[in-house]
């Protein structure tokens, strides 16, 4: 009986998700028949005034604020990591859970499955030595224990058995598993230990996404997460270790009218510096100036970074053989105010997320100089809006 109910529940969710895509401007991709929501259509337009908005900085309270904030329309918990096995072979992982509120209030129905909250999760593994990238997705409703997020009394963020838990204070455990089309298992079981205090982006965590009042989100990161555990790819399990990065963001906002997509970077350098920056690209070839990144020094001091503080030069491109979408595939990052010069290259060129919202998200390597000294590091890059039919991630 429970299995039948879960099957009916999932069928309903797929139908509802397709309706959401249509309302958000679902369109067929210009290449090879891949369909997904259009990034501008999905994040533009009127916002229901009954949802809470991010107008001013808020006092964060951890671990409570690791949980859900259902009064805001959109929220996500985002984990990426750059790992290696005992032989030094490189791997990467992405695990993201998204929450979307369909209405500002809960439906007045007496059912443990009644909800206005829809959850979606993406999971991917980049296998350096195997030269492969596998991506997966799931959907569920935020009711009946199927999906949700709590910060108190315990940290738990889950969609069915894809989950983040906190077995001990200051340490998170991520577990996810899936099967490829040819029957090979892909999985992660990782422990992420906090080593640095949360990084509050923008104005004490208020991250502006455009010039309009309330067009903002609350955004913080946990960086320097010392990571150990196992990673399974193509049916082969290896012990891995490295560094991970966690983003948590929530708000109710829309992209400005001329935005077409964004390029987002997170880097952790060997000198202890952590860097998050992005450019929200506009139709005229420019970028939205309100978005602010963050440079975190080894001593923990933080500096805001605007789009005037750095330049990104595309050094190479890659065209997906699956979707036909062309993405940047290498960059030169210069930030003169910080005497920072880096060349950033993907671990694998094909790290395209082949899910309902098609985008590129992948592990990268960085090498260059800072303050005149050589420096190297690793991180993750996310690219959206490179096709008229491409969807959005964050």
CA distance 204 to 103: 28
Looking at every residue in the chain, the average pLDDT score rounds to 86
pLDDT digits (tens, 9 = 90+) for 339-365: 999 999 999 999 999 988 789 999 999
Considering 111-120, 258-267, 333-342, the range whose residues carry the highest mean pLDDT is 333-342
- Rounded percentage of the chain residues whose pLDDT exceeds 70: 85
Query: Domain for residue 388, yes or no?
Result: no
Nearest to 91 by CA among 136, 137, 130, 135: 130
* More confident call, 122 vs 212: 122
Q: List the domain range (segments joined by +) for residue 359.
A: 2-383
* More confident call, 172 vs 390: 172
pLDDT digits (tens, 9 = 90+) for 282-309: 888 887 777 789 999 999 999 999 889 9
Number of domains in the chain: 1
Query: Domain for residue 211, yes or no?
Result: yes
pLDDT digits (tens, 9 = 90+) for 148-203: 999 988 999 999 999 999 999 999 999 999 999 999 999 999 999 999 999 999 99
Looking up residue 222, the CATH number of its domain turns out to be: 2.40.370.10
Query: Domain for residue 392, yes or no?
Result: no
CA distance 99 to 52: 15
pTM of the predicted protein model: 0.88
Can the peptide bond before residue 335 be classed as cis, meaning omega within 30 degrees of 0? Answer: no
Q: Judge whether residue 35 has pLDDT over 50.
A: no
Considering 3-17, 94-108, 148-162, 199-213, the range whose residues carry the highest mean pLDDT is 148-162
Query: Domain for residue 79, yes or no?
Result: yes
Confidence grade of residue 87 (pLDDT, cut at 50, 70, 90): very high
Residue-level pLDDT at 22: 33
Query: Domain for residue 394, yes or no?
Result: no
Q: Judge whether residue 40 has pLDDT over 80.
A: no
Q: How many CB atoms lie under 10 A from the CB of residue 63?
A: 16
Nearest to 384 by CA among 362, 368, 363: 362
Residue-level pLDDT at 357: 79
Radius of gyration of the chain (CA): 20
Query: Residue 311: in which H helix or E strand, if any?
Result: strand 311-319
* More confident call, 7 vs 351: 351
The number of CA neighbours under 13 Å toward the Cβ of 320 is: 25
Residue-level pLDDT at 291: 78
Confidence grade of residue 146 (pLDDT, cut at 50, 70, 90): very high
Confidence grade of residue 100 (pLDDT, cut at 50, 70, 90): very high
The token duo for 48 is 């229901």
Considering 52-56, 173-177, 381-385, the range whose residues carry the highest mean pLDDT is 173-177
Query: Domain for residue 391, yes or no?
Result: no
* More confident call, 208 vs 253: 208
Query: Domain for residue 390, yes or no?
Result: no
Query: Domain for residue 393, yes or no?
Result: no
Q: Is 240 helix (H, G, I), strand (E, B) or coil?
A: strand
């Amino acid at each position: 009986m429970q299995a039948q109910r879960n099957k009916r529940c999932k069928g309903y969710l797929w139908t509802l998700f397709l309706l959401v895509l249509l309302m958000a401007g679902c369109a067929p991709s210009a290449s090879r028949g891949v369909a997904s929501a259009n990034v501008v259509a999905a994040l533009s337009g009127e916002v229901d005034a009954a949802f809470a908005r991010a107008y001013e900085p808020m006092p964060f309270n951890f671990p409570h604020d690791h949980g859900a904030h259902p009064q805001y329309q959109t929220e996500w918990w985002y984990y990426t990591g750059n790992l290696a096995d005992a032989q030094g072979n490189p791997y990467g992982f992405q695990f993201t859970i998204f929450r979307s509120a369909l209405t500002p209030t809960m439906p007045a129905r007496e059912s443990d499955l009644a909800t206005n909250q829809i959850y979606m999760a993406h999971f991917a593994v980049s296998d350096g030595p195997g030269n492969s990238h596998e991506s997966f997705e799931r959907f569920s409703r935020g009711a009946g224990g199927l999906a949700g997020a709590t910060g108190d009394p315990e940290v738990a963020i889950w969609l069915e058995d894809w989950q983040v838990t906190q077995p001990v204070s200051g340490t998170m455990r991520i577990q996810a598993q899936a099967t490829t089309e040819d029957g090979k298992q892909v999985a992660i079981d990782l422990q992420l230990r906090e080593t640095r205090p949360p990084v509050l982006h923008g104005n004490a965590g208020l991250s502006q996404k455009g010039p309009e009042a309330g067009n903002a989100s609350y955004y913080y990161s946990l960086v320097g997460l010392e990571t150990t555990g196992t990673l399974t790819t193509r049916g082969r399990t290896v012990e891995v270790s490295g560094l991970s990065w966690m983003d948590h963001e929530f708000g109710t906002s829309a992209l400005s009218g001329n935005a077409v997509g964004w390029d987002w970077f997170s880097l952790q350098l060997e000198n202890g510096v952590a860097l998050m920056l992005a450019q929200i690209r506009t139709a005229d070839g420019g970028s939205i100036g309100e978005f602010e990144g963050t440079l975190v020094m080894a001593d923990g001091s933080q500096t805001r970074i605007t789009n005037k503080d750095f330049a990104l030069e595309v050094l190479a491109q890659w065209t997906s053989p699956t979707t036909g979408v062309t993405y940047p595939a290498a960059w030169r990052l210069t930030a003169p105010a910080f005497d920072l010069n880096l060349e950033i290259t993907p671990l694998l060129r094909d790290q395209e997320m082949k899910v309902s919202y098609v985008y590129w998200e992948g592990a990268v390597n960085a090498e260059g100089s800072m303050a005149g000294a050589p420096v190297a590091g690793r991180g993750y890059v996310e690219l959206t809006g490179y096709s008229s039919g491409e969807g959005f991630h964050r």
